[in-house]
Amino acid sequence: MASVACIGECMVELRQAQGRQSAGQGGGLYSRGFGGDTLNTAVYLARLEVKVDYFTALGDDALSEEMVAAWAAEGVGTRRVLRLPGKLPGLYMIQTDAKGERQFFHWRDSAAARRLMDLPETDEILNSLMSYDIIYLSAITLSIYDAAGRERLFGAIKRARLLGTRFVFDTNFRARGWPDRDVAREVFTAAFATADIVLTSTEDLLALYPGESHADLMARIPSPELVFRLTEPVSLLRFSGGTSEVRAEPMTKPVVDTTAAGDSFAAAYIAARLAGSDPVEAARAGHRLASLVICYPGAIIPGYAMPPKKRHRPATSRQATK
């Protein structure tokens, strides 16, 4: 069975209660959950019947225990989660406007996940990447490590690729996570040069390379497979068989919350590629799931809201995404 290693950070999520943001009630009411871009993708991968392990570090507190239990209940593997005594997970708060657009506020500078690349167990964790078919991480993942940690991680990914593991990089750029854009651009260039598949968007790349055309932005990415999502619900694809444009089906329900739209797209795309679909059909699957996710509040929609499972032709492990 094909397997995916998702690397990143999960945080405590505080989400503004529906209706409060327009009621003029300041603080309002918030519900508590858990979320993080790569963790969201891991959950959706598990729901799409992909074997997935999450790589991160957490504390030994009650919230960290709840997180691990929740991931396991979703079918996400937790054997690669390191536990650090005395540390805590990060926290973020989501506010959404009447159109479902969200704003994030973070408290995460001392979160346990930031230590993952400099622990006694780090070498063992990184060496295990060679046993997976796909390694998936985002620019947010890379932003929480220092330069030495990123170099260590890239080295492990390159070793794993020599044995047939594929590296999927999701740009998911958040300026506040980087000391400046020059550092971010340098790290993105290294990731683009290493990745087998890049999932990106105009929102991410124009923040780093303002004023460039779609063609110029895509030309910056040498990866053999590229999914470039536009501001409208359209993806431009480049892959070994050529290029294509994939348009999402029209929405039939109102948009409630755009949180995890890109994360769920990534999960459906990866799952479809692992199952043997070509990039065009995989992008259609990504748009279908993302279009559903944004109709519900929060990053993870209820299990009953997931689309019916679609059977793909059998795929050969490690070769399905080529």
State residue 137's pLDDT score.
98
Pairing of strands 225-229, 234-239: antiparallel
Nearest to 11 by CA among 121, 157, 101, 140: 140
pTM, to two decimals:
0.90
Output the pLDDT for position 316: 46
Residue 84 · residue 141 · CB < 8 Å: no
Contacts 24+ apart (CB under 8 A), 24-31: 30/93
CA distance 122 to 116: 7
Per-residue pLDDT at 1: 61
Question: pLDDT tens across 252-306, in order?
Answer: 889 888 889 999 999 999 999 999 999 999 999 999 999 999 999 878 999 999 9
Q: How many CB atoms lie within 10 A of CB 320?
A: 21
Q: Given strand 91-96, what is the order of strands in its sheet?
A: 30-35, 11-16, 91-96, 102-107
Tell whether the torsion through CA atoms of 278, 283, 284 and 290 is positive or negative. Answer: positive
For residue 57, which of 118, 106, 130, 103 has the smallest C-alpha distance?
A: 118
- All structural domains of the chain, each given as residue ranges with its CATH number in brackets, are 3-8+38-59+119-305 (3.40.1190.20)
pLDDT at 315: 45
Mean pLDDT, rounded, of the chain: 90
Cα four-point dihedral sign 225, 242, 264, 48: negative
Q: Report pLDDT for 24.
A: 45
pLDDT of the residue at 23: 43
- SS3 of 250, please? coil
Q: CA-CA distance, 14 to 36, in Å (whole number)? A: 12
pLDDT of residue 277: 97
Q: How many CA atoms lie within 13 A of 90 on its CB side?
A: 23
**Helix axis angle, 261-274 to 279-293, nearest 10°:** 150
Are 64 and 84 contacting, i.e. CB atoms less than 8 angstroms apart?
no
pLDDT at 66: 95
The pLDDT, as a whole number, for residue 215 is: 95
Residues in the chain where the model's pLDDT stays below 70: 1, 17-27, 96, 98-102, 310-322
Active site residues: 263
